A and B are shown apart, each in its own frame.
Chain A
């Protein structure tokens, strides 16, 4: 559903992000080698204008770190991040500044992302003031009204002077989104934007993101909810322990999964219709922590299809079905 085949808005190539593990005093004195959390280990993907890409996977698989690296909020060890054709991997704070306006983050918790002391008007106006944009006071007011109308807080007058405690959870998330789009960004990064909201409110926010996408924004959405990804994403990337193990058009990934991990995940997603109760393929245990990455394919200890080779070979993403998967057995 991307409108133009032109260059991607965001192109991430071979991204690696590691966090040092605190050794404690004892470890440091014993000169135990420094250990690392291998949060992201060679991730590549793109997001185009007018496209919503969902990054899915279990907690700790590196979704949030990937998103933060895209926004240059954490420093990668290696890899390359391009925004609108320009390499931003090593840009310094000052050079990054004009770009910040064009890439905005939407947080998970609408209760934490808004300052309780700021009225809706002030919260949405703040980004304009910080970036010295929006023109005169009267023009800024017009921008704020427009942003509120775009997130469907209508009529804006009804909300302008309210404070967060006078808003419902869904309305707060809309205000937070209004504050993100008031600067006219090209890219939205939404980290579990609806997981704290009630199902009826959730659908409203997701439809709103969908309309923003239609209007030309690129959206990178992080979610652990495969049903949401299936309904709203153009493309889905499935992450496991710091790697993308499967990637492709959303419907293709959902209806024709190739990687055993994706297959297992999809098999356990509860369905709305009790007649559709599926044959669940439950993986035992949980993903190991990202400090001790298994040899070969990192999924092999939990994989129902693993063969001896899987302990040795670390598979790369390769064409599978009509998308890509990283598994020597497909």
Chain B
């Protein structure tokens, strides 16, 4: 049976000046089932946002996209804008990175949601306003706030409004790009709780994009770790933390401070490679504490491992449990 959403071999190149190209997304693939919560994590610039904008056909003209995006088994990327448009917002919706600061400042929050409903011919007039009230209530905003302007909302409330807007057409997949970044810890907890209940109560599938590993550990079932445009490890969050099969995953966790963790977080030396030049060997080898000869010249492929997980690291060919 086909998955709800299946992304395969997604590649994105940006045209740069002087005939150069930046290979921002390099063969990314993952699947999502109804009600499932998948985290997409990695450091700034690793291609998280480009991946999700790419699969929704929302990248600027300077980007070329290749790969397939199967929605219930049907490729919606193949026919370009024409084949994506009927599904965007309707089946696949997104809360953009920084969405809470992107609401139209001169329109009330309610009227912005009404507009979305009318644009997609979901409802109009009185019916649209009723539906808007329901949507706001479903994300924890009292319906009587519909007449307020975005600046009258706190950051947390604006993020809720952005989520309500994404839910307007009853999508089956919600993509949330850094939905809690820049929010205080208590408000972050409220938003995570909201996303959690949307998945539990409505069977919404969630693709949670963030640089914040603990947020993914808290909310997601599985996670894909991105580095330099590709997924380097993918698996259940528990396994990623307790038995990482890629040194980058291990080092990323080790760099993350934990409330009750022992020891001091350690930085990962060096920086990710430039993506406007061909990569030789493993993209992580210059920063890796376990790199060996093969890593400098042969690029490891993402390989299936036991326990419904995968990793792109030569160490997994040598012996298990060496990472």
Residues of A within 8 A of B (CB): 58-59, 168-169, 198-204, 206-207, 210, 224-228, 230-232, 254-255, 264-266, 268-277, 280, 282-284, 286
Q: B30 on the interface (CB 8 Å rule)?
A: no
Residues of A within 8 A of B213 (CB): 199, 272
The one of A201, A230, A277, A282 in contact with B260, judged by C-beta atoms closer than 8 angstroms, is A230
Q: B106 on the interface (CB 8 Å rule)?
A: no
Interface string of B199-223 (1 = CB under 8 A from A): 0000000000001111101100000
Can you list 24 A-B contacts (CB < 8 A)? Answer: A58-B184, A199-B252, A199-B255, A200-B43, A201-B267, A202-B255, A203-B264, A203-B265, A206-B257, A207-B267, A227-B214, A227-B259, A227-B261, A228-B257, A266-B259, A269-B214, A271-B258, A273-B258, A274-B217, A274-B237, A275-B238, A276-B260, A280-B189, A283-B186
The one of B214, B255, B271 in contact with A271, judged by C-beta atoms closer than 8 angstroms, is B214
Whether the pair B271, A168 counts as a contact (CB closer than 8 A) is: yes
Nearest chain A CB to B40 CB, angstrom units: 15
- Interchain CA distance A228-B271 in the complex, whole Å: 22
Known: A168-B271, A274-B241. A231 touches B184 (CB 8 A): no
Place the interface of chain B in its size category.
35 or more
Whether the pair A231, B156 counts as a contact (CB closer than 8 A) is: no
Residues of B within 8 A of A (CB): 43-44, 154, 156, 184-190, 192-193, 211-215, 217-218, 237-238, 241-242, 251-253, 255-261, 264-268, 271
Residues of B within 8 A of A275 (CB): 238, 241-242
Whether the pair B268, A226 counts as a contact (CB closer than 8 A) is: no
Residues of A within 8 A of B211 (CB): 198-199
Nearest chain A CB to B274 CB, angstrom units: 12
Residues of B within 8 A of A273 (CB): 217, 241-242, 258
Whether the pair A272, B258 counts as a contact (CB closer than 8 A) is: yes
Whether the pair A203, B241 counts as a contact (CB closer than 8 A) is: no
Contacts between chains A and B (CB distance < 8 A), count: 129
- Interchain CA distance A254-B189 in the complex, whole Å: 18
Known: A271-B217, A272-B214. A200 touches B268 (CB 8 A): yes
Known: A210-B264, A270-B192, A270-B215. 4 other contacts (CB 8 A): A58-B184, A207-B266, A271-B214, A274-B241
Whether the pair A226, B185 counts as a contact (CB closer than 8 A) is: yes
Of all chain A residues, the one with the shortest Cβ separation from B215 is A270
Known: A227-B258, A227-B259, A275-B238. A270 touches B271 (CB 8 A): no
Of all chain A residues, the one with the shortest Cβ separation from B43 is A198
Residues of A within 8 A of B242 (CB): 273, 275
Whether the pair A224, B185 counts as a contact (CB closer than 8 A) is: yes
- Interchain CA distance A200-B259 in the complex, whole Å: 17
- Interchain CA distance A207-B213 in the complex, whole Å: 20
